[in-house]
Amino acid sequence: MTITITPPETLSFQRPLTKVSEETLLIENSSSQEVAFKVKTTAPKVYCVRPNAGTIPAGDKITILVMMQAHPEEPPVAQKCKDKFLIQTVPLNDVLKSVPTNEFWSHVDAHYKDDIVQKKLRCTYVDANAADSTPLTNGAKSAQAEPDVQSKTLNTTVDNTIDLDAPELDEQQSMDEVTRLNLELDAYKNEVEALRARAPEAPKSKSLTKNGVPLPAVILIVVLSFLISFFINRGSA
């Protein structure tokens, strides 16, 4: 099975990111057999993929529109995008063609997992000026002007549904992220300890005193003295 994906490595999304940014993904099936495809992402709430699943006849291709939702704020220029995409393709045999749509990929995972071809793509942010001066990536953008094949969809909700079961695509990056979070946690702990050290101690609660003697003790002594005097005087009478 010969499948060509363009761009081959990176999906580039043009700034400003406070508005919807679009990128196109071209999948070409150069084999002699019809194939099914599926697009996954590690950030399903950020992207809208049309279509995100379907089939491509032998010798044809399909252009997929990937839209990054608008960010509430523009990310810093130095911030890198950590999102990733995974494109899966599998040849369609007579058995798979008879599998119900809602069971297709679970059936493939269970019985034809070794036949799945996967391609990972990273995402990046690009400056508008840089994007304008950079040639289109391997013709992916120009593919929008070409007629797409009328592929049979394997997922009826292709507008906003992107699979949530995306695998971990970069273990090393995940470890780096965990390390970064642990360092931030340690920094927060140190900051809390520093704030505690600088905070003035709360005054200890003290009972009211008179000449160094607690006031309740003074009152008790006065009452006892009065009672003793009262009983003594009563006995003398």
CATH number at residue 153: 2.60.40.10
- Residue 35 neighbours by CB distance under 10 Å: 23
The pLDDT of residue 222 is: 73
Percentage with pLDDT > 70 across the chain: 58
The pLDDT of residue 183 is: 60
Residues 201-207, mean pLDDT to the nearest whole number: 53
Report how far residue 67's alpha carbon sits from residue 25's, in angstroms, rounded to the nearest whole number: 11
HEC assignment per residue over 204-218: CCCCCEECCEEHHHH
> Hey, what amino acid is at 182?
N
Tell me: pLDDT of 127 over 50.
yes
Report pTM.
0.58
- Domain-embedded: residue 224: no
> Hey, what amino acid is at 8?
P
99-103, 135-139, 152-156, 157-161: least confidently modelled range? 157-161
- Domain-embedded: residue 134: yes
Q: Is the backbone of residue 59 left (phi > 0), alpha (psi -120 to 50) or beta?
A: left
The pLDDT of residue 228 is: 72
| Residues in Cβ contact with 6 at an 8 Å cutoff, skipping those fewer than 6 apart | 25, 26, 28, 137, 138, 139, 140, 143
Report how far residue 84's alpha carbon sits from residue 64's, in angstroms, rounded to the nearest whole number: 16
pLDDT, mean over the chain: 76
- Domain-embedded: residue 42: yes
| Residues in Cβ contact with 96 at an 8 Å cutoff, skipping those fewer than 6 apart | 36, 90, 104, 107, 108, 112
Domain count for the chain, please give it.
Answer: 1
Residues 130-153, mean pLDDT to the nearest whole number: 46
Pairing status of strand 61-68 against strand 53-56: unpaired
Report how far residue 91's alpha carbon sits from residue 70's, in angstroms, rounded to the nearest whole number: 36
The pLDDT of residue 141 is: 46
Reported as a pLDDT band with limits 50, 70 and 90, residue 137 is very low
- Domain-embedded: residue 21: yes
Report how far residue 62's alpha carbon sits from residue 149's, in angstroms, rounded to the nearest whole number: 6
The pLDDT of residue 128 is: 77
Residues 100-129, mean pLDDT to the nearest whole number: 93
Locate 101 and state its tokens: 């749509």
- Domain-embedded: residue 86: yes
CA dihedral 170, 158, 37, 93 (to 10 degrees): 140
The residue range of the domain holding 124 is 3-171
Percentage with pLDDT > 90 across the chain: 51
Tell me: pLDDT of 81 over 50.
yes
Residue-wise pLDDT for 171-193, tens only, equals 444 555 555 555 656 665 666 66
Locate 96 and state its tokens: 């798979």
Tell me: pLDDT of 20 over 50.
yes
- Domain-embedded: residue 155: yes
Reported as a pLDDT band with limits 50, 70 and 90, residue 83 is very high
- Domain-embedded: residue 235: no
Tell me: pLDDT of 195 over 70.
no
Reported as a pLDDT band with limits 50, 70 and 90, residue 34 is very high
Run of H or E residues at 188: helix 171-198
- Domain-embedded: residue 30: yes
Degrees to nearest 5, angle at CA 142 with 140 and 159 = 65
